[in-house]
Structure 1
Amino acid sequence: MALKTPSDMLRGHTDTIVLAILRKGYSYGYEIHKSIMEKTQNQFEMKEATLYSSYRRLEEGGYITSYCGDESQGERRKYYKITEKGRELYRQNEEDWEFSQRILNKLLEEEL
């Protein structure tokens, strides 16, 4: 049986990570990627393909919307914005994460 690495465990929360970033305002793909790198002080890199799969999944579910920016130089960027449904999903995922943390802490706590 293959063990999960910390990166595997974090990738299981990709949608929640994306929603957390978009709660602060609209953003485009590379900017979200860069934000993850900055927040983790380059200790965790989420592959762009993983992120783009998340954007597509979240948009299909109605959790985010997207639009193309009007770039005067270079390629037009696709901007993402969280919807109210996305905010609700984020809140639920946050509650689930906090519950999981409490349970894991209790289970892993050393008996005195």
Structure 2
Amino acid sequence: MINADALRGYVDVMILSILRREPSYAYDMAKEISREAEGSYSIKQTTLYSALKRLEGTGHVESFPGQSQSGKPRTYYRLTDAGRDLLTVKCEEWEQTKNLVDRFVKGIV
């Protein structure tokens, strides 16, 4: 299981990446993160909602009302143009971070 602290700075990347494909609601995003993680990480609802509110507050995502397939009202989120730009920056940052850490763990793992 991946420690949540190790991913703290990259929860936004996961959310923005999901929303890059299509608008979604929080519960569905949590399921998608768990599915992609294949059991190695499970996001807490409080972490997800905090990130969504922060991203909405900075204009990187916007919320809108909608309904789930069952007809239940949901708050959906979609990526803004600023969010697309942030995703690009964060992905570049991730590559640099990964490359730096790889230099230190090379040959250990």
Q: Give structure 1 regions of 4+ aligned residues with deviation exceeding 4 angstroms.
A: 70-74
Query: Which structure's residues are more often helix, by fraction?
Result: 2
RMSD between aligned alpha carbons? 2.0
Select the structure of larger CA radius of gyration: 1
1:29 aligns with 2:47: no
1:104 aligns with 2:84: no
**Structure 2: segments with no counterpart, 5+ residues:** none
1:87 aligns with 2:84: yes
The DSSP-based 3-state class of the residue aligned with 1:62 is coil
Partners in 2 of 1:42 and 1:72 — Cα distance? 26
What is the aligned-residue identity percentage? 34
- 1:13-28 counterparts in 2 under 5 A? 13-28=10-25
Cα deviation for residue 18 of structure 1 reads 0.5
Q: Is the 8 A contact 1:11 1:46 kept in 2?
A: no
Give the match for residue 63 of structure 1: 60
Q: Is the 8 A contact 1:29 1:52 kept in 2?
A: yes
For structure 1, which segment, 7-16 or 17-26, has the greater mean C-alpha deviation from structure 2 after superposition?
7-16
1:76 aligns with 2:73: yes
Q: Is the 8 A contact 1:68 1:76 kept in 2?
A: yes
Partners in 1 of 2:35 and 2:68 — Cα distance? 24
Q: TM-score, length-normalised on structure 1?
A: 0.85
Aligned length: 107
Cα deviation for residue 85 of structure 1 reads 0.3
Cα deviation for residue 17 of structure 1 reads 1.1
